[in-house]
Structure 1
Amino acid sequence: MISWPSLFLLASPITAFPADTIASVRTGEPEAATDVIVVRAERLPPDRSMPAQISLDQEALGSSIGLRLDEALRVAPGAGLFRRTPSGPANATIQGLSLRPIAPNGAGRALVSLDGVPQNDPFGSWVFWVRHDPLFLERVDIRRGAAGAGFGPLALTGTLDLIEARGGPPRMRLSAGGQGAVQLAARGSTIAGNGTITAMASYEANDGLIPVSPSQRGVVDLPADFTASTLTLVSEIPADNGQWSFRASGFEEEKGAGTLGGSSVARGADLSGARKLEGQWGQARLIVFAQTRDFANQTVSVSADRASVIPALDQYETPASALGGLLIYAQALESWSPRWILDWRHSEGETRELFRFIGNGFTRTRIAGGRQDLMGFGLDVPRLVQSDDEQMGLDATLRLDRWANGTAKRLETDRATGVVTLSERPVDREGQVVTGRVSV
């Protein structure tokens, strides 16, 4: 299990600017004209002529008006979270994303990636949307249904590709509102040697609303408050026939559940590196990444008159980590451009919780978890055959995946005596599956 320190962001005095203000310092002298060239190394060369793909730019994402990413995605047909509650006050376990008419669940059945790196939680597969402020994104590419088949078993209902913005002038958004709402996001880049460094940071706080109607409230009902902060550093360095890029990020969020004794805390950190190569033979990109997450959640049982609560579960720790890599090779052939994909992801995690509240405290401890390894090799051929006017085409995908689940366990112990009351250790399992897709 990877261990990472918690991330804390210190707020310094700021000056309020209107939403989507670009901050700049002028000396009174005319600025020299500068041509800025931004080179992006995307996971796969996009084929935006595909009817199954939808692209949302910064305007559609509402980067200037403070929309959260999950709220901005509501404009996309078929995209939705497990619950309609916005991600701000909502518990992380109900923020799974679905992109096709398959019954959604809290974990989510769509692959969310940021410049090629999976963003789904290694243990629960949900997404912490607070990490991805639209101000930091250049665009979002959505592939619904089978259009995401080339991205592996995590993309059951499709894929959501987040493309981060780099370069350009600094940008800042500061907003405030009722219920103590404050939202700050800023992004800026600077030249360092022959490369660039981009920094992105955000902070959000809200005293929240009481989620129970006034006629039904009791003394245990409280506002569902929350605070969240993120910090990201990206370095891009030109290299022979391509470039190197490195990314480090961290986040922390704290939420109230709207009832006395109910709350949740989540934190995590990511490290990734990528190398892009291109030439007459085509393009290739290698990505490696490491991730760590932790999540704590306290739930309570509310009495019928909403005058008292009884602790129901103390999920005091949910450590999870992931290691992975991805290699994409896009051939440059005369009539079509096949893309070869090789990816691997190792993830592990467990939930550690107290339950069975009797008298003045919890009497049992539960630890459950395991590990999973996924490795896949695929071939994706957009426009294998197309009409003369290029308005219709035949796309094909073939993929082989191997999976392995191991070290699964569920251990329950009496806290007073240390006696094991339940011990389950399912046998390790593994297998492989071949999937294919042909679409017009």
Structure 2
Amino acid sequence: MSIPAGIRLPYRAALLTGAALLFATPALADESAEPGRPIIVTGHGLESGPATPAYDVQTIERDAVIASASGRIEDVLNSVAGFSQFRRSDSRSANPSSQGATLRALGGNASSRTLVLLDGVPVANPFFGYIPYSAIAPERLSSIRVTRGGGSGAFGSGAVAGTIEMTSAGPDQIGILQGSALINDRSETQASATIAPKLGAGFLVASVQWDRGEGFWTTPKDQRAPASARAAYDSWSASLRAVAPLSESVELQASVLAYGDERTLRFKGADSTSEGQQASLRVVGRGDWQFDVLGYVQAQDFSNIVISSSTFAKTLDQHRTPTTAIGGKAELRPPVGEDHVLRIGTDLRLSDGRLLELPYNAAGAFTAARRAGGNQSDLGFYVEDDWTLGDLVLTAGGRADRWTIRNGFYRAVSPAGVVTQDDAYANRSGWMGNGRAGLVWHASKAVSLRAAAYTGMRLPTLNELYRPFVVFPVTTEANPNLKPERLRGYEAGIDVHPLEALTLSLTAFDNKVKDAVANVTLSGTTRERQNVNAVHARGVEAAAALDLGTVRFDGSLAWTDAKVRADGPDLDARRPSQTPKFAASATLAWLPAEGWRFAATLRHVGAQYEDDLETYVLPAATTLDGYVQVPVAGPLSLVLRAENLTDETIVTRNQNGSIDLGTPRTFWAGLRVALR
């Protein structure tokens, strides 16, 4: 794996910082602690404010995070009804560039309309907007908090459909060592190992995972050709995280993540690769003047080979897409009284992306060298206050973003070196203000009422602005004049705790993304990215959680009426592509003793349309997954997993009858070790 020159210094600096922390930890503890008083580090950011429940929040705890049937983080997120990627495929069989994250049926394209954070760091690819799911190992996480809607407050820009916050685990959750090795009925393997020793008053977490296999047939049997291939995959991920105290109330966190992913989609030679490196430093203070200062640097790359479905020859080589992002966040919480939590902060993200691709003719010769790319930046300032008035908690905040889109270009050069197209696009910039407000009223010990209103924004990605693409036989043109998307939303809900072990919630919402970027059909085989007037989604979300100790139930459902609002009659009032009206998930688990788990998960996703004109249908799909863990000897446990037990046919793509399929029935077996 190569590291771009501009990234090597901060990347190595973070590694050295993490190593230095390990040796410095005992000394730091001795100098800063009062005699007999222990120093406690968490490895997390500051605690959430008391008004967090004013928004529609669902938390996935660690025991559910690490016990999915597939072992994939996107499978874990699917337990929150309303979460979706552009397609139903997971990170073993999808093209990585199609794996955005969206909530509340506010989809319609492959970019993420949901802000995804790992320990406060945005993880979306800066060029395409997809999420590198294969890089995120569930075993490394302590919890995932999903906020549907909520707008752009202290979360940062990009959260037009919601925010997904993933928090890393420490030694208390992981133990000294945790690892697993499994094999499935197609001889595919999945292995991971994590160590989390406590060192002085701090700790270290080091983790690796490796998944590989020949994959399943995504092409239906009656559509296969000699050139058809299984969805082979080979992915790895490694992370290092060190946490140490600087004083009794201040801790330093250093993290490094690196990953690589190779996949084959539908045809032999249709290979894609994605890789990335990320490093971050974070200082968190929990004294009277609380603060959270975070800085990060990222480098990612993507390549993809497109094979013709008629000639089975290479038609396009997306040779490289190197992208970098540098950013950070600083938040201060001054002591303004026990009844207030005041947050004042700023965040910055600078990104740069470049594309090199080579189209090929029927004779196998490349016909041009095409380059495209540009720069983006977003500088935000925010202030937010949570005010507790007895059983009532009020929250309000505002945010101002200075955004820029600069140095955009598209250039094509013939094999002879002749420039055939050379477009340079005007720089653009602007200010955009957003706000949000909400309340939660604890009407009794058993009932809480909440309401919220909010706005948000998302910049179009460099991919949407500058890169055309082909999914045969449809060509989708880029649009360098796309405007930022804007969210307007409001919601109201109720949370009920009729029993200590039972929680029920219901939320009604109305969200509208104005100037939404959509792939708009211009003719039978041509589309263009355009700002439609809006994507308008209204619906209800419900959740239920029951915890009786040995028996647990978690359920979630979402019903959404989503419509595109556009000037043309062909598109107006149609449902956005790839968005179902109804989705539901339910998991029932039995934990008879320590280390034992028997669980089943039932999921349903309603029918979706492949395209914006509602021509091609993706039928509804209902799947049943299973998970079993049984201790066998000491720290060893037997793990059995089953994906799609009923072997439901899951259609992930339907382009004029050309079909791709999702995961078939798959059985896994292996061992897990956990040393405390």
TM-score normalised according to structure 1 size: 0.86
2:282 pairs with 1:274? yes
Report the CA distance shift for 1:4/1:290 in structure 2 as closer, same or farther (over 3 A). Answer: closer
2:340 pairs with 1:297? no
How many Å separate the matches in 1 of 2:272 and 2:6?
A: 20
* Aligned-residue identity in percent: 26
SS at match of 2:78: helix
How many Å separate the matches in 2 of 1:88 and 1:157?
A: 25
Query: What is the letter of the counterpart of residue 356 of structure 2?
Result: R
Give the match for residue 422 of structure 1: 421
Give the match for residue 13 of structure 1: none
Give the match for residue 411 of structure 2: 411
Report the CA distance shift for 1:4/1:181 in structure 2 as closer, same or farther (over 3 A). Answer: farther
How many Å separate the matches in 2 of 1:46 and 1:183?
A: 38
Give the match for residue 27 of structure 1: none
Report the CA distance shift for 1:269/1:210 in structure 2 as closer, same or farther (over 3 A). Answer: same
Report the CA distance shift for 1:247/1:171 in structure 2 as closer, same or farther (over 3 A). Answer: same
Give the match for residue 312 of structure 1: 315
Q: 2:115 aligns with which of 111, 115, 134?
A: 111
Q: 1:79 aligns with which of 77, 83, 95?
A: 83
Question: How well do the aligned residues superpose, as a CA RMSD in angstroms?
Answer: 2.1
Q: How does 1:145-160 map to 2 (within 5 A)?
A: 145-160=149-164
Give the match for residue 376 of structure 2: 372
Query: What is the CA-CA distance between 1:43 and the residue it aligns to?
Result: 5.4
Query: What is the CA-CA distance between 1:85 and the residue it aligns to?
Result: 0.8
**Higher mean C-alpha displacement, 189-198 vs 406-415:** 189-198
How many Å separate the matches in 1 of 2:75 and 2:363?
A: 43
How many Å separate the matches in 1 of 2:54 and 2:204?
A: 33
Give the match for residue 268 of structure 2: 260
**Higher mean C-alpha displacement, 178-187 vs 285-294:** 178-187
Report the CA distance shift for 1:36/1:298 in structure 2 as closer, same or farther (over 3 A). Answer: farther
Q: 1:223 aligns with which of 217, 230, 238?
A: 230
Q: How does 1:333-352 map to 2 (within 5 A)?
A: 333-352=337-356
5+ residue gaps in structure 1? 8-34
Give the match for residue 389 of structure 1: 391
Query: What is the letter of the counterpart of residue 431 of structure 1?
Result: G
SS at match of 2:338: coil
SS at match of 1:180: coil
Q: 1:322 aligns with which of 320, 325, 329?
A: 325
How many Å separate the matches in 1 of 2:375 and 2:165?
A: 25
Contact 1:98 1:104 in 2 (8 A): no
How many Å separate the matches in 2 of 1:88 and 1:336?
A: 46
SS at match of 2:160: coil
How many Å separate the matches in 2 of 1:63 and 1:46?
A: 29
Report the CA distance shift for 1:230/1:150 in structure 2 as closer, same or farther (over 3 A). Answer: same
Give the match for residue 141 of structure 2: 137
Query: What is the letter of the counterpart of residue 301 of structure 1?
Result: S
Query: What is the letter of the counterpart of residue 179 of structure 1?
Result: R
Contact 1:83 1:94 in 2 (8 A): yes
How many Å separate the matches in 1 of 2:213 and 2:49?
A: 38
Query: What is the letter of the counterpart of residue 320 of structure 1?
Result: T
Report the CA distance shift for 1:3/1:297 in structure 2 as closer, same or farther (over 3 A). Answer: farther
Report the CA distance shift for 1:262/1:64 in structure 2 as closer, same or farther (over 3 A). Answer: closer
**1:154-209 per-position Cα deviation (integer Å, ceiling 9, x unaligned):** 21211110100011312112211122211112211224455322101101012101
2:110 pairs with 1:102? no
Q: 1:172 aligns with which of 152, 176, 179?
A: 179
TM-score normalised according to structure 2 size: 0.57
Report the CA distance shift for 1:148/1:77 in structure 2 as closer, same or farther (over 3 A). Answer: farther
Give the match for residue 202 of structure 2: 195
Contact 1:96 1:104 in 2 (8 A): no
**1:57-78 per-position Cα deviation (integer Å, ceiling 9, x unaligned):** 0122244755311111111122
How many Å separate the matches in 1 of 2:71 and 2:320?
A: 30
Query: What is the CA-CA distance between 1:147 and the residue it aligns to?
Result: 4.7
Query: What is the CA-CA distance between 1:4 and the residue it aligns to?
Result: 5.5
Of structures 1 and 2, the one with the larger relative CO (CA 8 A, separation 6+) is 2
How many Å separate the matches in 1 of 2:406 and 2:195?
A: 43
Query: What is the letter of the counterpart of residue 322 of structure 1?
Result: A
How many Å separate the matches in 2 of 1:37 and 1:414?
A: 62
Give the match for residue 22 of structure 1: none
Query: What is the CA-CA distance between 1:3 and the residue it aligns to?
Result: 4.7
SS at match of 1:60: helix
Q: How does 1:8-47 map to 2 (within 5 A)?
A: 38-42=41-45, 45=48, 47=50
Q: 2:361 aligns with which of 342, 357, 362?
A: 357
Query: What is the letter of the counterpart of residue 413 of structure 1?
Result: V
**1:197-246 per-position Cα deviation (integer Å, ceiling 9, x unaligned):** 21011010121011111122110111110011111111111112311111
SS at match of 2:269: coil
Q: How does 1:45-64 map to 2 (within 5 A)?
A: 45=48, 47=50, 49-63=53-67
Q: 2:218 aligns with which of 208, 211, 223?
A: 211
- Aligned pair count reads 402
2:256 pairs with 1:248? yes
Give the match for residue 68 of structure 1: 72
